[in-house]
Structures are given as structure tokens and as C-alpha cells.
Amino acid sequence: MNYERWLLLMKNLGFDKNQETYNALVKAYSESHRYYHNQSHIGTVLAYLDSFSALTEHKNEIELALWFHDAIYKTFSSSNEADSADWACKYLDKNHARIETQKTVHGLIMATYHSHAPSSNDEMLITDIDLAVLGSAEDSYSRFSAAVRQEYKSVPDFIYKRKRRAVLQGFLDRDRIYSHDLFHNEFEVRARVNLCREMNQLSGVGA
């Protein structure tokens, strides 16, 4: 996690350095049970933000949301996004950010729960960024799926495979995995190939 990038974001937001918060985020993303939702993931999604920055309406808010979106990650918790969003809002409030900014960042983080269709341009963008890994090259996707399995290593295979298939099928059942045309054009086909391959592997069917 790039400290210079953090400092630049703080400057753009009109905040102090917030060294303590940066250190807390680094510590959170370095937790031993994280194999995918770690510092590397944050670096990757920020790189995607740079590549697709022309699509943003509120780039600083999206970037801050990405820094915080997996800050709280407990493997069996259903409130990780909400807890992460709450942390972000407490941080923003401490820095005297406007209520509108707090609401925007909270909504952006909650969009990464992927439980509902995003309702704004920036929500669509942050969800596309978060899901870009689904459309990565085959070897990258394989590392991703293996890392996710490691995060649930205490779950027996027959349970994990059933639940994982349900998650993957949920994405496959969508008319579009990616909302923005640029993401759709670049990642949609490969994402569906990757998801189908993993589904076959989980079902014991040859790829």
C-alpha cells in the first residue's frame, strides 16, 4: 500500500496526513487470514481506478472508498462492508468532511457488497473495479480462486463447493456482470469463461 499515494489523496481531500489511519489500514490488510483481501488487492483496485479514471465523477471519494472497502474482513461475517463503511465514515467525520461526502463514501463501500444493482455512475464504477478480477487472465483468476479458498480453509470441501457455486452462478445469471461499457467490453466474455471453468472444477467436470 503506497504511502505516497495516501499522502496525495489526503492533500486532494484537504486533510492532514492521517498517519495513524494509514498505519491502521496497513495493519488491517496485513492480517494473517487474508489471502486475497489484502494489501495486494488494494494496490490492484487502485491501479484499475487509474486506468479508468475518465469514468469517475468523484474520483477522490471513490479512491478513499477503495482504501477502506475491505478494511474490516472477518471470514464468516456478513457485515464486513457495513463495518468498513462505518469505519470510513468515522474517519471522515473526524476530519470534518461534509455529511454528503460521508454518505457518498458509505454508499460506494456498500456497493461492493454486490447484493443490489448500483444506483449511480460511481457505484457502478467501484463495483466494476472490484469485480475486474473475474475477467482477468486464466492464471490470475486461478490464483484468485485459490486465495479465496484459503480464506475459507476451515470450511469442509462439500460445503465450500456448494456455497461457492451459488456465488458464481449469481454472477453468471446476470444480464451483465459489468455496468460500464468499457469494463463490459474488456472483461465480460473472459469473466464468464473463468466463472464457468471454476463451476466445472467445483462440480468435478472437465474444463
- Per residue, what are the HEC states of 94-107? HCCCCHHHHHHHHH
> Given pLDDT bands bounded at 50, 70 and 90, which one contains residue 206?
low
Q: What is the pLDDT of residue 1?
A: 87
Q: Shortest CA distance to 186 belongs to which of 140, 142, 128, 141? A: 128
Q: What is the pLDDT of residue 116?
A: 80
Q: What is the pLDDT of residue 207?
A: 44
Q: How far is 114 from 132, CA to CA, in rounded Å?
A: 13
Q: How far is 153 from 90, CA to CA, in rounded Å?
A: 32
Q: What is the pLDDT of residue 178?
A: 97
Cell 464486513 -> residue: 80
Q: Shortest CA distance to 70 belongs to which of 121, 101, 111, 18? A: 111
Q: Shortest CA distance to 171 belongs to which of 198, 201, 151? A: 198
Gap between the terminal Cα atoms of the chain: 35
Q: What is the mean pLDDT of residues 166-182?
A: 96
Q: What is the mean pLDDT of residues 33-43?
A: 97
Per residue in 63-106, pLDDT tens? 999 999 999 999 999 999 999 999 999 999 999 999 999 999 99
**Per the structure block, which three cell numbers stand in for 39?**
494489501
Q: Shortest CA distance to 38 belongs to which of 85, 73, 87, 75? A: 73
**Structural domain boundaries enclosing 36:** 3-203
- The CATH number for 89's domain is 1.10.1300.10
Q: How far is 69 from 65, CA to CA, in rounded Å?
A: 6
Per residue in 99-138, pLDDT tens? 999 999 999 999 999 888 888 999 999 999 999 999 999 9
Assess whether pLDDT exceeds 70 at residue 166. yes
One-letter amino acid at 75 equals T
One-letter amino acid at 4 equals E
Assess whether pLDDT exceeds 60 at residue 169. yes
> Given pLDDT bands bounded at 50, 70 and 90, which one contains residue 162?
very high
Q: How far is 86 from 82, CA to CA, in rounded Å?
A: 6
Q: Shortest CA distance to 4 belongs to which of 17, 20, 21? A: 17
Per residue in 41-62, pLDDT tens? 999 999 999 999 999 999 999 9
Q: What is the pLDDT of residue 205?
A: 67
Per residue in 18-32, pLDDT tens? 999 999 999 999 999
Assess whether pLDDT exceeds 80 at residue 35. yes
Q: How many CB atoms lie within 10 A of CB 82?
A: 15
Higher pLDDT, 199 or 207: 199
Q: Which contiguous run of DSSP H or E holds residue 35?
A: none
This prediction has a pTM of 0.95
One-letter amino acid at 45 equals V
What is the total count of domains within the chain?
Answer: 1
Q: How far is 1 from 38, CA to CA, in rounded Å?
A: 10
**DSSP structural state of residue 30:** T
